[in-house]
């Protein structure tokens, strides 16, 4: 009886072991195959390097970030950064701008922004956000959502020329950050007013003549400062408002005229002010005789150079000499005060 039980248990155990053997062999085969696949896959992929104390995207890139950005800086001489910068689109973080081009309209702000965007350490919003003048009620979250992603060492910028003449803008910018760097591109206020009028005339062909808008009540002597084309050029008045919130050291005043005649020189000043390496130099520019201002040389791999759009460089209408002289007399004391406030003589007659 005991032997029978022992024999039955032995047979049962033997059958149970036989049933487990195929499962065990199958698991070994699957495990071996999985290890083979993973080892082959890992060898084909670059190994990420992690760095602490950086945003998530930069931690993933780790020590590769400086190398990639160094290559971008090297490529700026060949005008390639705009092609390469897209590799960073999924990395970095959206930050509030550390520098803002706050003015002035028709002073050369678009040209300055496009020249700056050649620099691999500058990321800028393309369209004007108008946050501190028209869209402030949309909130800071909306404003930051407009910003491009930046890596460590890059700066975020935006431009909205109407900030300079908006009463509330200095207080609002200061509330966001008192360390914001402010760039103002200024131009001879008489020439600037005519350029402003020319732009408006292109959109509204039925506009009255320049002189009818510049003088109050058809007077030949009283300048109408309520007309925005005239009011914007009273730079000293607008700067006083900004100096209530920011020291002069937070400003850089760029000459719109020198941005045309010596773009590399003015860009050198701008890059120094922003704490950037002087990457954008005279080798990036050529003078477009048709438009009458400098353009960026043809980027490598592109069929054409990069110039500003058709809306830039429009021919100005003829303005009577007596009107121009009267305007210059009007602006002269304001210009002198502006020179004194900024410590710069812009040479406007």
Q: Which domains does the chain have, with CATH numbers?
A: 93-191+230-315 (3.40.50.300)
Contact 278, 272 (CB under 8 A): yes
Provide the pLDDT for residue 313.
63
- Average pLDDT on 159-165 reads 98
Residue 184 CA neighbour count, 13 Å, CB half: 23
Mean pLDDT across the chain: 81
pLDDT, tens digit (0-9, with 9 covering 90-100), for 202-241: 999 999 999 999 998 767 779 999 999 999 999 999 999 9
Poorest-pLDDT segment among 18-32, 104-118, 196-210: 18-32
Residues acting as catalytic residues: 106
Helix (H, G, I), strand (E, B) or coil at 342: helix
Q: Which residue positions form the known binding site for 3'-phosphoadenylyl sulfate?
A: 106-110, 187, 195, 312-316
Angle between helical axes of 321-342 and 189-203 (0-180°, round to 10): 120
Q: Supply 109's token pair.
A: 């702000």
Secondary-structure percent of the chain, ordered helix, strand, coil, rounded to 5: 55, 10, 35
Percent of the chain with pLDDT over 70: 70
Token readout for 64 is: 């590769």
Question: Minimum mean pLDDT among 38-47, 182-191, 243-252, 288-297: which range?
Answer: 38-47
DSSP H/E element including 235:
helix 235-243
pLDDT in tens, 234-278: 999 999 999 999 999 999 999 999 999 999 999 999 999 999 999
At residue 292 the predicted structure's pLDDT band, cuts being 50, 70 and 90, is: confident
Q: Which residues make Cβ contacts (< 8 Å) with residue 109, sequence separation at least 6?
A: 101, 103, 159, 161, 185
Which residues contribute to the annotated binding site? 106-110, 187, 195, 312-316
Angle, helices 235-243 vs 321-342, to 10°: value is: 20
Q: Which residues, 6+ apart, have CB-to-CB distance to 337 below 8 Å?
A: 236
Contacts 24+ apart (CB under 8 A), 73-79: 73/120, 73/121, 73/277, 73/279, 75/120, 76/118, 76/119, 76/120, 76/279, 76/280, 76/284, 77/283, 78/299, 78/300, 79/118, 79/284, 79/296, 79/297, 79/298, 79/299, 79/300, 79/302
Q: What percent of the chain has pLDDT over 90?
A: 64
């Amino acid at each position: 009886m005991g032997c029978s039980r022992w024999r039955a248990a032995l047979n049962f155990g033997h059958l149970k072991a036989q049933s487990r053997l195929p499962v065990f062999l199958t698991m070994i085969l699957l495990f071996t195959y999985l290890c083979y696949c993973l080892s082959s896959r890992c060898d084909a992929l670059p190994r990420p390097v992690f760095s602490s104390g950086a945003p998530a995207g930069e931690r993933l890139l780790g020590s590769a970030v400086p190398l990639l950005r160094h290559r971008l800086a090297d490529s700026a001489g060949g005008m390639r950064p705009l092609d390469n910068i897209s590799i960073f689109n999924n990395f970095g973080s959206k930050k509030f701008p550390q520098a803002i081009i706050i003015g002035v309209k028709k002073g050369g702000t678009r040209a300055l922004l496009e020249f700056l965007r050649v620099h691999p350490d500058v990321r800028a919003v393309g369209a004007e956000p108008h946050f501190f003048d028209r869209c402030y009620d949309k909130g800071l979250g909306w404003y930051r959502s407009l910003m491009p992603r930046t890596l460590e060492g890059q700066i975020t910028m935006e431009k909205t020329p109407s900030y300079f003449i908006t009463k509330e803008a200095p207080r609002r910018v200061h509330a966001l950050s008192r360390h914001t760097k402010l760039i103002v591109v200024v131009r001879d206020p008489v020439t600037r007013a005519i350029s402003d009028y020319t732009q408006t005339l292109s959109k509204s062909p039925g506009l009255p003549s320049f002189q009818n808008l510049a003088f109050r009540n058809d007077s030949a002597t009283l300048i109408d400062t309520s007309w925005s084309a005239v009011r914007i050029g009273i730079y000293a008045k607008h700067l006083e408002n900004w100096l209530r919130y920011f020291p002069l050291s937070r400003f850089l005043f760029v000459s719109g005229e020198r941005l045309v005649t010596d773009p590399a020189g003015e860009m050198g000043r701008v890059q120094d002010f922003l704490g950037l390496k002087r990457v954008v130099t005279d080798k990036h520019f050529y003078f477009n005789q048709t438009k009458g201002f400098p353009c960026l040389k043809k980027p490598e791999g592109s069929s054409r150079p990069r110039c500003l759009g058709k809306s830039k460089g429009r021919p100005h209408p003829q303005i009577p000499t007596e009107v121009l002289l009267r305007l210059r007399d009007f602006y002269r004391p304001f210009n002198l005060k502006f020179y004194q406030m900024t410590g710069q003589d812009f040479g406007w007659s």
